[in-house]
Amino acid sequence: MAPRRCPCGTGLPYDQCCGPLHAGDTPAATAEQLMRSRYSAFVVGDPAYLLATWHPSTRPPALELDPGVRWLGLDVLRTEGGGLLAAEGTVEFTAHRIAGGERGEQHEVSRFVREDGAWRYLDAE
């Protein structure tokens, strides 16, 4: 049986892409990698990872994922900053979904900051 592809769209197997990030084995190296891993966390239903990678200043006290939403794919449109040595970055993306039998998409420009060596989702512009 072939390994399951990662939902983030890199084409890599999940256990070689976002899986180790979700398991806490490795941190995201870039803002884009964190954004992709957060999208994958929505797909696989991992709210604990989403909360853990959310900046404390904007993180909600709890997060409940909607089981009626099925995520279909991710398009990364552009990145600014967020590299290996950067302290902040933005990632613009469109996430495709189906909910209640209706197709839709979420377009967002997410802001990320690196604190204590770890990337965190800050907010969306």
**Other CB atoms within 10 Å distance of the CB of residue 104:** 12
**pLDDT tops 70 at residue 1:** no
Q: What is the pLDDT of residue 5?
A: 94
Give per-residue pLDDT as tens, 109-120: 999 999 999 999
* Residue type, position 80, single letter: E
Q: Give the strands of the sheet with 69-81, arranged side by side.
A: 69-81, 88-99, 102-115, 118-124
Q: Does 3 have pLDDT greater than 90? A: no
Cβ atoms of 105 and 99 within 8 Å: the answer is no
Amino acid in position 34: L
What is the model's pLDDT at position 125?
86
Mean pLDDT over 24-36 rounds to 97
The neighbouring-strand residues paired with 95 are 74, 106
What residues have CB less than 8 Å from 79, skipping those under 6 apart? 31, 32, 89, 90, 91, 92
pLDDT > 80? residue 92: yes
Q: Which tens digits make up the pLDDT trace of 33-77?
A: 999 999 999 999 999 999 999 999 999 999 999 999 999 999 999
Residues 6+ apart with CB under 8 A from 77: 92, 93, 94
Q: Of 53, 23, 60, 55, whose CA–CA distance to 38 is shortest?
A: 53
